[in-house]
Amino acid sequence: MKAEVFLTSSTVTEDDVKGRTVIVIDVLRASSTIATALNNWARAIVPVADTGSATKIASNLDQSGYLLGGERGGIKIQGYHLGNSPLEYTQEAIEGRTIIFTTTNGTVAISRARGAEHLIVGSFLNAQRVVDFVRQIGLDVTIICAGWRNRVSLEDTLCAGLLLHRLWDGREPDLVSDSAHIAFSQYVHDQHNLDAALRRSNQAQWLMANGYADDVDYCLQTDVLPVLPYYKENRLVLYKEYEQASVL
């Protein structure tokens, strides 16, 4: 299969995702939070690019059935139930609830990928589950790194590189895009000291300096959540094997 990587989501167009399996990555923290929420039995995540859309959706739902979650500039949005820390999304807090979710970078990237044949959310936490799904589907894949305000982020690039390394069984094909080569090569360079490399990233440094060191520790774990957030009917739900026939 062919693989393309966008190191930020800012230039993604409908043609870039049409007919492909698309993986959106925002390691710190949106994609990690989404995977955690679904693992802890949130009913669904409704990702929206802006707070106005979140308010509009909430106004049409039963107040007992949803929670507002998200951040701007890394800080919980005033008046929201939850921020963007995956550690807030415990089973006790969210089980059975729909999360209307908006973040600075991650949900914007998701909104730009809605035209994909299959749209999933990836992170270090569920990396192998993502790889297994991509192989199962067999379509060409596009990996979209959310980045930070249209800038490249090291943690997303390294996660993209890890996914490519597994999809390619550790060997880069002869002909790949420049951005895929960058992600793969950076991962190969850092793979034996990955945790230290990730902690040097700008976003990890900001989070640790602002009281979110536990979030960094959590989000940098690999293959600890066997869940796959799958975009379906304007929301992210837990993909289940028994749904395969209807999804495909």
Residue 241 pLDDT greater than 90, yes or no: no
pTM of the model: 0.96
Q: What is the mean pLDDT of the chain?
A: 96
Binning pLDDT at 50, 70 and 90, where does residue 180 land? very high
What pLDDT, on the 0 to 100 scale, is given for residue 243?
55
Distance CA 202, CA 135 (A): 32
Which of helix, strand or coil describes residue 190? helix
Residue 46 pLDDT greater than 60, yes or no: yes
Residue 118 pLDDT greater than 60, yes or no: yes
Bridge partners of 118?
Answer: 21
CA angle 229, 235, 239 (to 5 degrees): 30
Residues contacting residue 213 through CB under 8 Å, at least 6 positions apart:
207
Average pLDDT over residues 153-166: 98
Q: How would DSSP label each residue in 116-174?
A: SSEEEEE-STTHHHHHHHHHHH---EEEEE--BTTB--HHHHHHHHHHHHHHTTT---S
User: How many residues comprise the chain?
Assistant: 248
Q: Which domains does the chain have, with CATH numbers?
A: 3-240 (3.90.1560.10)
In the chain, % of residues over pLDDT 70 = 97
